[in-house]
Amino acid sequence: MTSTGKVEFTISPGLLRRLASKDEEKKAPSAPLRPPPLPSRSVSRLPRSAMDAIRKDLELRNALVGANKVGDLLLKREEAEVDKVNAYAQEMIDQGYQVRERPVPCEAEREACSKCYEGGDVFGCRGAVDAYAKCAGEAWRVAQMETSS
């Protein structure tokens, strides 16, 4: 220390390397959780309920470790699947893929139905509604046959 109460220090490349290596050691994965070992003499003195609680705690800890491993594997798998989907989407974009446009079925019947209802005679629209329902049913059957083949 100097007479003014200030502390002086020097940062060297060696100090920086040592600090960096300690940082990497801290990032190393840790071992699975295990409870501290119990002394063998004291275990026999514990009541049965305490022994059951310790056993249950061990089971839960092991289950938690296993669940974390499975979760990590699922996350890795998800990342791989997302990458595949993105690659496939990009491939489709690059190839200029476009969705085939289809004409809207039953447009005339739908329009006739709408005009009839707008006219105010709701009970007189039965014929227009029946024609629209018949056309829509037929369009549905055709669409189902196209998708199944």
Residue 110 has pLDDT above 90, yes or no: yes
Q: What distances in angstroms separate CA 14 from CA 7, 18, 57, one per listed residue?
A: 20, 6, 45
Residue type for 31, please? A
User: How many Cα atoms within 13 Å fall on the side-chain side of residue 82?
Assistant: 6
Does the structure show a pLDDT above 90 at 138?
yes
Contact 131, 112 (CB under 8 A): yes
Q: Say yes or no to pLDDT of 92 above 70.
A: yes
pLDDT grade for 74, boundaries at 50, 70 and 90: confident
